[in-house]
Structure 1
């Protein structure tokens, strides 16, 4: 399913109805709002686009909309035309950032593919390619999953009971280690919130799904 980017669509709207005005106000918030952008639950519900909050490399929180949903991958487009690509809630590629994730292999065996049936000690191995200080890096990354304490998230006016999973990731060849954390909806098994590293133990990316993509 292909969707028009939010900003392009809103530029074509005339401010003649309350809904259209709400769309325009939301766009202005995303572009010129405070350091941490906040979109109201009503604005999120009124928008015909899937959306999320993102915090990239510990910067301000931004509002991001879904550009494309195809081949089980979601491509989220920022106002400044950067892109975050996710699959099953995992960040698998980025474009337009100072450092970028280029490729993640073996996605079909990612434990996040079946979020309601992850078991303590579940493991996963993949090859990851990314850029770091202008140089392309690649490494084999192995992970182990450990269950955290369940939490209830308040997202866009909805309280969502979540299972929390901590993923301990390691590159054996260099000894670099880091942790990714995923908040998984206890009913649907979908990742609602995540904090994961774009590169090995560097460049954190936090995401919170406000309105999920439709399959």
Structure 2
């Protein structure tokens, strides 16, 4: 386990007056429903990996990396929820109203090596999640296909990415949907993703401003 950061408000220690003012603005925004957007300079000057997170089409918030454990990146929100990812793949959440409890598969997730993704790559897994107070589970099957190259502006840096579509089907309920991943063509790192917490349920959008190491 590698401790990196405990809570976002800890950034206040040692901040310049300008940064402290920015964090006060963030704290005020967090109590409302407006999207949180921090300056490019602030994001670049922080030593911590960070992302913008949007849950279930709600408010965009700023999240930092808490620690890395067994290859999994564990991101902490200011209200103590946790988002667990590996190479941009959503694996688990805690502290939310609805949570992804588990992703289990004996197969190799093609997304675990984003730079090696190929058209037709497939993956099958079992997921467990909470939905409207009930625990649910389903077998998911998915297949990847490449999309277009585009440019993302992240913390003032223009990143050329290729979009990859993951066409997903669940057995129960019988649903189909798409996850989307934008992968840096140079580094092979996922820089943005649109996924769901459950089977076609509860969108989770992540934009990795400073990816986890």
| Same fold per superposition (TM over 0.5) | yes
Q: What TM-score, normalized by structure 1, do the two folds share?
A: 0.91
Counterpart for residue 90 of structure 2: 91
Residues 63 and 78 in structure 1, CA contact (< 8 A), matched pair in contact too: yes
Gap runs ≥5 in structure 2 = none
Residues 122 and 142 in structure 2, CA contact (< 8 A), matched pair in contact too: yes
SS where residue 16 of structure 2 aligns? helix
In 2, the alpha carbon distance for the partners of 1:27 and 1:65 equals 13
Question: Deviation at 1:22?
Answer: 4.1
Structure 1 segment 95-114 matched on structure 2, within 5 A: 95-106=94-105, 109-114=108-113
SS where residue 150 of structure 1 aligns? strand
Counterpart for residue 60 of structure 1: 59
Question: Deviation at 1:23?
Answer: 4.0
Which moves more between the two structures, 65-74 or 168-177?
A: 168-177
Shift in CA distance, 26/75, structure 1 to aligned 2, threshold 3 Å: farther
Question: 1:17-60, CA deviations, whole angstroms, 9 ceiling, x for partnerless residues?
Answer: xx433443343233212701111111012222111001110011
Question: Deviation at 1:107?
Answer: 7.5
Query: Is residue 130 from structure 1 mapped to residue 129 from structure 2 by the alignment?
Result: yes
Gap runs ≥5 in structure 1 = none
Counterpart for residue 156 of structure 2: 157
Residues 5 and 64 in structure 2, CA contact (< 8 A), matched pair in contact too: no
Q: What TM-score, normalized by structure 2, do the two folds share?
A: 0.91
Question: Deviation at 1:4?
Answer: 2.5
Query: Is residue 32 from structure 1 mapped to residue 33 from structure 2 by the alignment?
Result: no
In 2, the alpha carbon distance for the partners of 1:25 and 1:112 equals 39
Question: Deviation at 1:145?
Answer: 0.7
SS where residue 166 of structure 2 aligns? strand
SS where residue 39 of structure 1 aligns? coil
Counterpart for residue 208 of structure 2: 209
Query: Is residue 21 from structure 1 mapped to residue 22 from structure 2 by the alignment?
Result: no
In 2, the alpha carbon distance for the partners of 1:107 and 1:86 equals 18
Q: Size of the alignment, in residue pairs?
A: 209
Which moves more between the two structures, 201-210 or 33-42?
A: 33-42
Q: Which contiguous aligned blocks of 4+ residues in structure 1 show a shift greater than 3 angstroms? A: none
Residues 126 and 140 in structure 1, CA contact (< 8 A), matched pair in contact too: yes
- After superposition, the CA RMSD in angstroms is 1.7
In 1, the alpha carbon distance for the partners of 2:166 and 2:68 equals 26
Counterpart for residue 3 of structure 2: 2
Residues 73 and 85 in structure 2, CA contact (< 8 A), matched pair in contact too: yes
Question: Deviation at 1:189?
Answer: 1.0
